[in-house]
Structure formats: structure tokens, C-alpha cells
Amino acid sequence: MTPTRLARDVSTVAVAGIAAWSSWSHMVAVALRFGERPEVAYVLPLSVDGMLVVASAAMVEDKRAGRRVRWSARTAFAVGVAASVAANIAAAEPSLGARIVAACH
């Protein structure tokens, strides 16, 4: 393993971890605010992120096999991203600037 590859891998894990924590906390906060039971609110983000992981894996599998990426994987990915961004925006302070920042992570 080269130092460059190690730096890339460590950076990827750090960025992904920060994004996952941020997204998870926003989605939980929104679910609780709108009356979801805590035991559901705390696992809800896992279903959204799980959908993104499954959709991504399906798209990679299709591409590696030389197939056209299936519409269901593209749709699931788009829905997962939309749900995550919507939760980030909904959890933000009610100002344009805060919502723009929230939409970017």
C-alpha cells in the first residue's frame, strides 16, 4: 500500500463517516419531530442508507457485467438521495443559508 493510497482510503472513510453521522442525526431529528416512535426513528436512516448501498451495488454489478444499469437501481438510488437531502433540509434552521448548507451534505 502506497502512502497516496493510504491517504485516499483514510480520507474516504473520514468523509463517509462524517456524512453518515450527519445524515443519520438529521433524519432521526426529523422523524422524531414529526411524531415517529423513537425505536423507529433511530433505525429509519439505516433503511435509507441501505437502499443506497443496495442500489449502488446493483449498478456496479450491471456495469461490470456489461449490462445496461437497471431502472430499479437508478430509481432506488434517486429516491434514497432525495430522502436523505430532504431530511437534511428539513432538519436545518429555517433560513435560506442554513437550508443550502444542509442540502450540500
> Could you tell me the pTM of the whole model?
0.80
Close Cβ partners of 30 (under 8 Å, ≥ 6 residues apart): 87, 90, 91
Within its chain, how far is the Cα of 104 from the centroid? 11
- Give residue-wise pLDDT tens across range 3-45: 999 999 999 999 989 888 888 999 999 999 999 999 999 999 9
- Give residue-wise pLDDT tens across range 44-95: 999 998 999 999 999 999 999 999 999 999 999 999 999 999 999 999 999 9
User: How far are the Cα atoms of 7, 16, 24, 26, 103 from residue 87, in angstroms, in the given order?
Assistant: 31, 17, 9, 6, 9
In terms of DSSP H, where are the helices of the chain?
A: 3-33, 38-41, 44-64, 71-91, 96-103
User: How far are the Cα atoms of 19, 39, 88 from residue 15, in angstroms, in the given order?
Assistant: 6, 27, 16
